[in-house]
Amino acid sequence: MTPMEKTEAFFDELVAHYGEGEEREIRAAAKLMLVALAKFKEHSGPRGIDLADEYLNLLKYDPEKFERIMQSNRSHGDDNWLA
């Protein structure tokens, strides 16, 4: 299982934790995002925030490339990296 697949599995666990609560997927995603942003800041300083901005801009302005990056990070093969 790739790190991306492990993260997605953990997301599913978080969603399950919220049971039938309202917006459980959004709440789980927000928790992951908060942890990720804290880790960006902790380990990268200002550069971490820049990297987060790059991913957000891809999501907003080039969603196809963002999806390709997501897919390549789910892949087990070495020849599929697009990032």
End-to-end Cα separation, the chain, in angstroms: 19
The pLDDT tens digits of the residues spanning 70-79 come to: 998 887 655 4
Domain residue limits, the chain? 3-80
Integer Cα distance of 52 and 62 in angstroms: 15
Mean pLDDT to the nearest integer, 44-58: 88
- Interatomic CA distance for residues 58 and 52, integer angstroms: 10
Query: What is the reported pTM?
Result: 0.74
- pLDDT digit string, tens, across residues 55-70: 999 999 999 999 999 9
pLDDT digits (tens, 9 = 90+) for 15-42: 999 999 899 999 999 999 999 988 888 8
